[in-house]
């Protein structure tokens, strides 16, 4: 992209954001910073536009390291993820992961790669690509086995492909780590129900309903059979 085209793109981004009621950050701040500001304000459309501009600017005049470029793609992918644009999110998460260095002896690097895999797994599941989604979350757990949220995500993946005992095993591990998450109890109760273990299901449903309103709502949802593993 030429400098002129980059300038025009910046102007178009500003106009689009202004039309949406967003402030014109681009005139006084870097595209990347504006993207982060928009993301923090939950303006995910604006964030995606700003990160796209930052990526194009770096394509024209490369100034960032591979790690910094990976972060740009991750943030745009995260914006798409929040917008439920799953195909676009998968593409950006894939690029981000490929740009990231592999340092298995560095806990922070392992955690960062696991996060990308977890989000890509969720996006793949939304696209009905359960096999690929399961591979991603398996790897995420291998990289960061202590993160209970990844066990929860894998339980969803396993439930989707009717591997109920395996899903139950992951929920048991997650509950052992985070005992105050009503979703975990409601979901486990739902699986117990499907396995014909009604007493255990009732126990978990009662626990979830007493924990908070979200838990009570989930129990009603699962009881009516309107949801599969918490996925709408």
How is 98-117 classified by DSSP, letter by letter?
HHS---TT-HHHHHHHHHHH
Q: What pTM was computed for the model? A: 0.80
What confidence score (pLDDT) does residue 223 get? Answer: 79
More confident call, 166 vs 224: 166
Query: What is the distance between the alpha carbons of residues 227 and 224, in angstroms, rounded to a whole number?
Result: 8
Flag the least confident range among 25-39, 69-83, 181-195: 25-39
Task: Judge whether residue 3 has pLDDT over 90.
Answer: no
R_g over Cα of the chain: 21
pLDDT band at 12 (very low <50, low <70, confident <90, very high): low
**Residue 197 has what pLDDT?**
95
Q: Is the pLDDT of residue 228 over 80?
A: no
Q: What is the pLDDT of residue 25?
A: 40
Helices (H), the chain: 3-19, 31-40, 44-60, 66-82, 86-99, 107-126, 130-143, 148-160, 164-177, 182-194, 198-211, 213-224
Of 168, 81, 184, 72, the closest CA to residue 124 belongs to 81
Enumerate the β-bridge partners of residue 100. Answer: none
The size of the chain, in residues, is 232
Residues of the chain with pLDDT > 70: what percent? 84
| pLDDT the model gives residue 37 | 95
Confidence band (pLDDT; 50, 70, 90) for 21? Answer: low
Q: What distances in angstroms separate CA 159 from CA 5, 42, 121, 229, 231, one per listed residue? A: 48, 31, 14, 7, 10
Mean pLDDT on 35-48: 97
**Is the per-residue pLDDT at 177 higher than 70?**
yes
Average pLDDT over residues 91-104: 96
CA distance 111 to 116: 9
Residue 209 to residues 189, 198, 213, Cα–Cα distance (Å): 11, 16, 7
Report, as an integer, the average pLDDT of 112-134. Answer: 97
Backbone angles phi, psi at 71, to 5 degrees: -65, -35
């Amino acid at each position: 992209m030429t400098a002129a085209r980059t300038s025009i793109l910046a102007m178009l981004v500003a106009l689009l954001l202004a039309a949406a009621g967003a402030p014109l950050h681009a005139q006084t701040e870097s595209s990347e910073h504006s993207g982060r500001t928009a993301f923090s304000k939950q303006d995910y459309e604006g964030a995606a536009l700003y990160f796209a501009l930052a990526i194009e600017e770096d394509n024209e005049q490369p100034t960032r390291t591979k790690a910094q470029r990976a972060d740009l793609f991750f943030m745009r992918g995260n914006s798409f993820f929040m917008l439920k644009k799953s195909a676009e999110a998968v593409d950006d998460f894939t690029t981000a992961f490929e740009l990231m260095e592999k340092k298995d002896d560095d806990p922070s690097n392992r955690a960062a790669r696991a996060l990308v895999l977890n989000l890509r797994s969720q996006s793949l599941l939304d696209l009905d690509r359960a096999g690929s989604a399961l591979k991603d979350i398996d790897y995420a757990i291998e990289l960061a086995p202590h993160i209970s949220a990844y066990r929860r995500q894998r339980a969803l993946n396993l439930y989707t492909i009717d591997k109920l005992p395996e899903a139950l095993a992951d929920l048991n591990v997650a509950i052992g780590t985070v005992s105050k998450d009503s979703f975990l109890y409601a979901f486990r109760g739902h699986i117990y129900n499907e396995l014909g273990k009604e007493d255990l299901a009732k126990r978990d449903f009662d626990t979830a309903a007493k924990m908070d309103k979200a838990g009570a709502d989930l129990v009603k949802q699962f009881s009516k059979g309107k949801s599969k593993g918490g996925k709408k």
